[in-house]
Amino acid sequence: MDYTIENEYLKATVTTYGAQLKSVVRKCDGVEHMWRADPDVWGYHAPILFPFTGKVKDDVIEVEGKTYPAPKHGFARLMEYTLIQQEPDKLVFGITQTPQTLAQFPYAFRLRSTFRLEGDCVVHTLLVGNEDEKPMPFGIGFHPAFAVPFDDQHTFRDYELRFDRMESPLCINCMPNGLVTGEVYYLGSNIQSIPVDEHLFDNDSHCMVNLSSRTLGLFEKDSGRGVVCTIEGFPYTLIWSKPGAPQFICIEPWFSIPSAEKGSHKWEEKPAAAVLAPGKHWHRTLRMQFVR
C-alpha cells in the first residue's frame, strides 16, 4: 500500500513494501526523482538494508554455533511494513521479528522507518531497537535510487556526482565476488565531481571510505538541478547503477560493509554498525535535498 505526504515544495510517496521511498516530485516542475523500479532493470526504489549490507561469506551467518541463511542485503527490504503514524508531512513505518526473520537472524528487534518533509528535503530516519535478551550486532544502510535523466531534454551524460569539497575517493575493493578482498583503489585524485557515463559502473559499485565531504549530490550540469544527500557521519558511501547507460544512480550511505572474503562466518566477528545491549536502540538519518 502507498502513502503520500506533501508540503509546498515536494510530494513524496512511500510504499509499505520495504518502506521504500517510491516517489518524490518537485512541485515547481513536476519532475519525478525516484527510480520507477522496473523489474527488467532493477526492481527497487530505495530499499532499506538490514540486518547487513551487501553479501556475507557463503551466504550464511553463525550465531551461538548455529548456521542461518543470509541473503544479500538482508530481509528488511522484502517485508511489508506496518504504518505506525501518519501526518500531513510525516510517515512512520515499522517491522519486528517474525518466524521467518528468526530463521535468518535469531534476534528479537524492532526497526522503525520515519519519513519527514522539511522544505525541499526528505528526511529519512532509521531506528533499530534490541528487544532480545542478548547483545545484538547488526549492519544497516540506505539505498535510494534517483532517476536520470530528469527530463527528455537531457541524457545520462548531462549529469555528474558532486562532492561539496575536493576529494581523492578511496574505495574498498569487493570484486569479483561482492566480498571485501583487503585491496583498495582510488576513484580519482583531487576531484570534486565524477562524470556519469556508460562505463562508471562496469565493475559494479564503488564503496568510498573516509570522505571529508558533508554532501554528495547528483547534478544536472547545465541547469544545477540536483538531488543532494548528506553523507557526513557515515563511514561508507557507495555509488551504484547497472552497467551500461544508467537509468538511475544510487547514492548509498552505509554503516557496515560486506563480509571479508577470508573472514569468519561468526556473526559477532563481522564488522557491524553497532552492537546493541538488550533494551537499547540506535538511530541515524539520511537527508535528501531536491534542489533547483
Domain count of the fold of the chain: 1
- The partner residues of 21 in beta bridges, in order of sequence, read 14
> For all residues of the chain together, what is the average pLDDT?
96
The answer to whether the predicted template modeling score (pTM) of the entire model surpasses 0.85 is yes
For cell 522484502, the residue is: 78
**pLDDT band, very low/low/confident/very high, at 1 (cuts 50, 70, 90):** very high
Residue 271 has what pLDDT? Answer: 84
pLDDT tens track for 72-122 = 999 999 999 999 999 999 999 999 999 999 999 999 999 999 999 999 999
Q: Evaluate if residue 139 carries a pLDDT over 90.
A: yes
3-state SS class at 101:
helix
Report the relative pairing of strands 184-186 and 170-172 from DSSP bridges.
antiparallel
- Per-position DSSP letters for 191-251, written without gaps between them: EEEEE--TTTTTTS-EEEES---SEEEEEETTT--EEEEE-TT-SEEEEE--SSS-SEEEE
Cell of 109: 528487534
Q: Evaluate if residue 200 carries a pLDDT over 90.
A: yes
For cell 574498498, the residue is: 172
| H or E segment to which residue 102 belongs | helix 99-102
Q: At 139, which CATH number?
A: 2.70.98.10
Domain limits for position 72: 2-291
Q: By the 8 A CB rule, do 94 and 84 touch? A: yes
DSSP one-letter code for 81 = P
**pLDDT band, very low/low/confident/very high, at 248 (cuts 50, 70, 90):** very high
Q: By the 8 A CB rule, do 111 and 105 touch? A: no
The burial class, CB within 10 Å (0-12 / 13-18 / 19+), for 187 is middle
Q: Give, rounded to a whole angstrom, the gap between the first and last alpha carbons of the chain.
A: 30
